[in-house]
Amino acid sequence: MLDCTDKDIPAPPPAPQFSHQEILQVLSGILLCIFLAAIDQTVVIPAVPAMAADLKGFGHLAWIVSAYLLTATVATPVYGKLSDIYGRRRLLMPAIAIFAVASVLCALSQSLWQLVAARALQGIGGAGLMAMAQAAIADVVSPRERGRYQGYMASAWGIASIVGPIVGGWVTDVASWRWIFWMNVPLAAVALLLCNHALKLLVVRPRAARIDYTGAALLTGGVTCWLLVLSWGGTTLAWTDPMLFGLVAAGAALLLVLTWHERRASDPLRRRACSPTGWWSAAR
């Protein structure tokens, strides 16, 4: 059990005063960001067989989904740390741009590994959409109102997760799997325009901080090991293969070391909460 006091977790700075119209503008952009980040985790699933047939890569189908999840998982806490240093807007705008560019690269891919690389880049952008959207809404609205707006964001995530496979299957049937990625571009442009103006009003409070590269490396290694197990198990390797057991053990060991390291780091990736599981709940 951790011994926590009020000084362990500093109080957030007061939210600046935004007009109702400005809050609605930011909220619209943030909901669209969350929708894009969420839908791209599931929209490709029904289109994977068509992608594999077109790009001749049936042996590595799982990487189309895993590449996005891997980079998104690793990049999320890094975005949080960088936004504390440089401000939300300076991270959210590039994240939207990365997501849009990666969507174009996905749509133009001519081989499976080009698509996997573009999906990995898209995951980096998607992580920024999700992490910065939640941080930005906390900066825009008062603590009393945050619960209501977080409910809106949870609803956007849930709707996107449900309609993603439906949209992916329909677009693949009536057009091409490439249009799954093309349709992200205008939506990302709208999100960029909606967020850009109002977030300029946020006051950037830079603070001296360092990126926890050791923690980022441990997180990358642990998540990679477990995603390799999910990607190779039952396809490239049998589930009883010793290599898979080794990867599970290595991933668990790296994540345990990460937990130990984060509790002792002077400037961890995520500020520790007042519970043994606080770091993991914050990372989610």
Those residues whose C-beta lies under 8 Å from the C-beta of residue 130, and which sit 6 or more positions away, are 33, 34, 37, 38, 72, 76
Angle in degrees, CA 28, 30, 34, rounded to 5: 120
d(CA 91, CA 107): 25
- pLDDT of 37-81, one tens digit each? 888 888 998 998 889 888 887 777 778 888 888 888 888 888 877
d(CA 244, CA 230): 9
Find the length of the chain. Answer: 284
Contact status, residue 282 vs residue 76, Cβ threshold 8 Å: no
Indicate the pLDDT class of residue 105, thresholds 50, 70 and 90.
very high
Contact status, residue 42 vs residue 168, Cβ threshold 8 Å: yes
- pLDDT of 180-238, one tens digit each? 999 999 999 988 888 887 677 666 655 656 777 788 788 888 888 888 887 777 777 78
Measure Cα distances from 164 to 15, 35, 38, 171 in Å.
34, 10, 8, 11
User: Helix and strand tally (H, E) in the chain?
Assistant: 11, 0
Token digits of residue 19 = 């007009």
Token digits of residue 112 = 């499976």
- CATH class in words for 20-207: mainly alpha
Contact status, residue 189 vs residue 198, Cβ threshold 8 Å: no
Measure Cα distances from 139 to 1, 134, 136, 283 in Å.
31, 9, 5, 19
The 10 Å CB-count burial string (b at 16+, else e) for 164-174 is bbebbbebbee
Most confident listed range (20-34, 48-62, 172-186, 261-275): 172-186
At residue 207, the pLDDT reads: 60
Question: 204: how many CB neighbours lie within 10 A of its CB?
Answer: 11
Question: 240: how many CB neighbours lie within 10 A of its CB?
Answer: 8
Q: How many CA atoms lie within 13 A of 175 on its CB side?
A: 12
Q: Looking at this protein, which amino acid is placed at residue 120?
A: A
**281 Rama class: left (phi>0) / alpha (psi -120 to 50) / beta:** alpha
